[in-house]
Every structure is written in structure tokens, then in C-alpha cells.
Amino acid sequence: MNDHELIFERLYFLLRERNLTMNRLATLSGLRQSTLSSLEARPTGVPKADTIRLICQALEISVHEFLDFPPYNEVER
């Protein structure tokens, strides 16, 4: 699984957990729906840090919480 798939899988999980849609996330985050749609549609696109920060603010979690899942929370040796 690439970074795009991992990040969007995590985002979908958090949206389902909070019973939110991507459209509602756009409204809460101040991002355009088209911005989220274009990120979602690009198979290699990974949201920039400022976009992730806005998403996290809308979800009322920290960026650390957003990225606290494997493989991002594992130490590579």
C-alpha cells in the first residue's frame, strides 16, 4: 500500500467513526470540496502538511493522532 492509500484509508476510517462525509469535512476544514476530491483522485498524491493540519483541526485531533497508525508509528530498523 502506498502513502496515498494509507492516508486516505485512515481519513475514511476517521470520517466513518465520526459519521462525516467528505463534503462536511470540506466545510469544517475550510478546504474546497474540489481540493479534497482532486487529492483523493490522484493515486500518487499525498496531501501537504498544511492540508493535513486543516483536516485534523476539523476532526479535532492532532496531526500526531492522525498519523498514529502502522506503518507511520513504527520504528524502521
> What is the CATH architecture of 3-66?
Orthogonal Bundle (1.10)
Query: In whole angstroms, what is the distance from residue 1 CA to residue 29 CA?
Result: 26
pLDDT of residue 1: 83
Please enumerate in sequence order all residues whose Cβ is within 8 A of that of 48, keeping only pairs 6 or more positions apart, or say none: none
- Cβ atoms of residues 32 and 43 within 8 Å: no
For residue range 4-57, list pLDDT tens digits in order. 889 999 999 999 999 999 999 999 999 999 988 888 888 777 888 999 999 999
User: Which carries the bigger pLDDT value, residue 48 or residue 77?
Assistant: 48
Residue 77 has pLDDT above 90, yes or no: no
Residue 76 has pLDDT above 80, yes or no: no
Map out the domains of the chain as residue ranges. Answer: 3-66
